[in-house]
């Protein structure tokens, strides 16, 4: 039976990966849990506990092999696989995501869908009318559907991609999606993040 990992640890994984990748690119070959902790503003004990959730990769008195740790984190998060993505909604967010170069080699935007496609050019990425969404998903391997539509369209778009067999949704629409239990949804709200920042600003200002 697979061990359950807490959502809090999962949320820290990308941060660990960013730190370890930076160390790797700087030519560092080994790193201690204390050094990782200082870079992430957590405790060394927390770092060790988190890594132990996936089997543990360090050696007492040596620390962690940076190259191996980077590889293990890529394996844990599936970054060593190719994930085909589509984007539904070619507004400001959709276009920005389509042109973003920071996803890494494991994520490829294959097509963008919208109600109006005239005049939209996104390099090598196909731009298709929304009417072809279900047909495209049925004929192509789509691992992740990115929804960046207005709130009013998000529910139908989600239903269409789920009906076509897509099991993973990255949702930028400002609404919660009602999907089957076997479909994974990661909600992204930029306004919520801004409101959290505003809260801390308000606390500082008294």
The pLDDT value given to residue 26: 96
Distances (CA, A) of 173 to 120, 146, 153, 156, 195: 20, 9, 9, 12, 17
Model confidence band, residue 3 (pLDDT cutoffs 50, 70, 90): low
**CATH annotation of 7-77:** 1.10.10.10
**pTM of this prediction exceeds 0.85:** yes
Sorted by where each begins, the domain ranges of the chain are 7-77, 83-192
Contacts of residues 78-84 at CB distance under 8 Å and 24 or more positions apart, as own/partner, are 78/106, 79/17, 79/104, 79/106, 80/106, 81/106, 82/106, 82/108, 83/107, 83/108, 83/143, 83/144, 84/108, 84/110, 84/140, 84/141, 84/142, 84/143, 84/144
CB 39 within 8 A of CB 31: no
Query: 3-state class of 129 per DSSP?
Result: strand
92 is in an annotated binding site: yes
202 is in an annotated binding site: no
CATH of 83-192, one of 3.30.420.40, 3.50.50.60, 1.10.8.60, 3.40.50.720: 3.40.50.720
80 is in an annotated binding site: no
Cβ-proximal residues to 57 (8 Å cutoff; 6+ apart), any chain:
51, 64, 65, 68, 69, 72
Does 16 score more than 90 pLDDT? Answer: yes
The H or E element spanning position 185 is strand 184-187
56 is in an annotated binding site: no
* Strands 30-31 and 64-65, bridge-based pairing: antiparallel
For 150-176, the pLDDT digits (tens) are 999 999 999 999 999 999 999 999 999
For 93-135, the pLDDT digits (tens) are 999 999 998 887 789 999 999 998 887 888 889 999 999 999 9
Does 191 score more than 70 pLDDT? Answer: yes
């Amino acid at each position: 039976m697979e061990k359950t990992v807490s959502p809090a640890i999962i949320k820290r994984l990308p941060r660990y990966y960013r730190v370890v990748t930076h160390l790797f690119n700087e030519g560092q070959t080994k790193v201690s849990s204390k050094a990782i902790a200082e870079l992430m503003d957590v405790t060394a004990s927390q770092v060790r506990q988190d890594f132990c959730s996936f089997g543990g990769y360090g050696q007492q008195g040596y620390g962690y092999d940076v190259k191996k740790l980077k590889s293990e984190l890529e394996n844990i998060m599936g970054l060593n696989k190719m994930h085909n993505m589509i984007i539904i909604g070619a507004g400001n967010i959709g276009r920005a995501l389509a042109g973003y170069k920071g996803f890494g080699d494991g994520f490829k935007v294959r097509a963008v869908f919208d109600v109006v496609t005239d005049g939209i050019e996104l390099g090598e990425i196909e731009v298709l009318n929304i009417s072809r969404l279900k047909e495209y998903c049925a004929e192509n391997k789509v691992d992740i559907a990115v929804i960046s539509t207005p709130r009013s369209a998000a529910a139908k778009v989600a239903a269409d991609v789920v009906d076509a067999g897509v099991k993973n949704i990255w949702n930028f629409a400002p609404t919660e999606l009602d999907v089957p239990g076997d479909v994974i949804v990661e909600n992204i709200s930029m306004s919520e993040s801004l409101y959290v920042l505003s809260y801390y600003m308000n606390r500082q200002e008294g």
